[in-house]
Structure 1
Amino acid sequence: MGDHYFTAAPSVASRPGSVRLHSQGVDLTLATDSGVFSQSRVDRGTTVLLDAAPMPPVRGPLLDVGCGYGPIALTVASRRRRLPVWAVDLNERALGLTRANAQTAGLGNVTACHPDEVPGELAFAGIYSNPPIRSGKPALHALLLRWLPRLMPDGRAYLVVAKNLGSDSLHRWLETEQGFPTTRLTSEKGFRVLEVAPRES
C-alpha cells in the first residue's frame, strides 16, 4: 500500500510543496514533500497541540518526538529562541525538511536528527509530540517509554491524540499502568491534549 510517513527512507517520488503555520504569534511558511506526515497542510491535531500546550514549568532543552517537517519544533523554538530544541524522526526526508525550514526561519537552536543521535545523558524540560498512532500500539508504547523517562524532575510532556484513535485508553495506560501522572488539558476538534508528568518516585 506504499510507504507510511514513519518509513525511514520513503520510496515515493519527491513532490515538494509548502504550508503556512500560524499559532499564537508564530507565523511560518514551511517546506513539505511527499512521504512525510500531513504534507499538504498542518495537521489539525498539531494545531490543537500548539494552541493548547504551554511552555514547561522548568527551563531546559525541549524535544519534538516525530517531528515531520518541523511545525512543532519550529514553533517552540520560535517561542524560546535561547533554548535548544531537539527534533527527532526516523524519516530522513522529514529530517532534511526540518533542517531546511529551521535555516529558512533563522532558528539556530533546532537540531534535527535520528533518535539514536540524541545524547544519552540529555534530560528534557518539555517533550511535545503528535505521536504516530497508526504505527500501532506496541510501537507507540515503546516510543513513549523511550522518551518520557527522560523528562527533568519538574518537566512535562504534551501529547495530542485523536479521541477516536484511543486518546482515553492512552491516558489510562500512561497513568494507571505506567505511573506517569497524566492530565487532559483540552478536548477540541476531536483531539485531546494530554499533559504528562514524570513518574513519582
Structure 2
Amino acid sequence: MPEDHYFTAAPASDGERRVLRVVLAGRELEVETAGGVFSPDHVDLGTRVLLRTVPAPPPAGDLVDLGCGWGPVALTLALESPGAQVWAVDVNERALDLVRRNARRHGLDNVTAVTPDAVPPELRPVAIWSNPPIRVGKAALHDLLRTWLARLAPDGEAHLVVQRNLGADSLQAWLRAELGLTADRVASAKGFRVLRVDGPVAG
C-alpha cells in the first residue's frame, strides 16, 4: 500500500513543525520538519548514501531534486552550487512548504519548491538527484522516471538511490531495456545502490 507521505498533505501548522539539526554539504544546519513527510526525524539512510557518493553537482544550470521531501537533497544542491537553480519537486504540499521554509532559513534563494506540473515544460535539467518513491508501485515509478529522465539536458546526468531489496537491480535493467538509457551502478553501500543515468549525448 503506498504510504501517505507520497501524496498531497496540507502544510504543517506551527504546532506540528519541529526543528531538526542535520549535517548537509559539510555544514550543521537547523531545519524544520513535520509528520506527514518522508523521514521527518532524520536524513534517511538512502539519502545519506546518495549524498556521500554522487560527484559534485554542476555549478550552474537547472538541478532537480525529484521527490524532495523536506529537502535534504535540494538544500545540499543549493549549498554546493549557489550559481545553479535548484528545483525541489514533490506532490506533497507539506513537504514543499517545509523546503521553502528551510531554504529561507538559510538564505538559499536559488531553491524553487513546486509540484511536478508547475515545472516549466521547457526545463532541461543538467542534473537530477533522487531518492525516488519506490513504494508508489512499479507502474507509477516507471511513469515518473520515464517523464523526468527524458527531460535531462544533453550530457546531463541523473543519480538515483534505490534499496537493493526493493528492486534496484531490476530497475537498472528496466532503464536499459525499456528506456534505452545508459544506467550504471556507481556505488553500493548499506543495502542501497546508486545508479547513474546519462542524458542524451550532445549533438
TM-score normalised by L of structure 2: 0.92
C-alpha RMSD of the superposition: 2.2
Task: Give the Cα–Cα distance (whole angstroms) in 1 for the partners of residues 68 and 49 of structure 2.
Answer: 16
Cα deviation for residue 27 of structure 1 reads 2.8
Stretches of structure 2 lacking an aligned partner (at least 5 in a row): none
Does 2:151 match 1:150? yes
User: For residues 40-119 of structure 1, what are the structure 2 equivalents within 5 Å?
Assistant: 40-56=41-57, 59-119=60-120
Runs in 1 of length 4+ with deviation above 4 angstroms? Answer: 10-14, 56-59
Task: Give the Cα–Cα distance (whole angstroms) in 1 for the partners of residues 170 and 134 of structure 2.
Answer: 12
Report the equivalent of 2:7. 7
Report the equivalent of 2:30. 29
Contact 1:3 1:12 (C-alpha < 8 Å) held by counterparts = no
Label 1:58 to 1:184 Cα distance change in 2 as closer, same or farther (>3 A). Answer: farther
Cα deviation for residue 142 of structure 1 reads 0.6
Task: Give the Cα–Cα distance (whole angstroms) in 1 for the partners of residues 152 and 170 of structure 2.
Answer: 22
Contact 1:30 1:71 (C-alpha < 8 Å) held by counterparts = no
Contact 2:62 2:86 (C-alpha < 8 Å) held by counterparts = yes
- How many equivalent pairs are there? 201
Task: Give the Cα–Cα distance (whole angstroms) in 1 for the partners of residues 113 and 131 of structure 2.
Answer: 16
Mean CA deviation greater in 51-60 or 66-75 = 51-60
Contact 2:6 2:136 (C-alpha < 8 Å) held by counterparts = yes
Contact 1:88 1:114 (C-alpha < 8 Å) held by counterparts = yes
Stretches of structure 1 lacking an aligned partner (at least 5 in a row): none
Report the equivalent of 1:141. 142
Cα deviation for residue 147 of structure 1 reads 0.6
Q: Percent of pairs identical after alignment? A: 51
- 3-state SS, counterpart of residue 153 of structure 2: strand
TM-score normalised by L of structure 1: 0.92
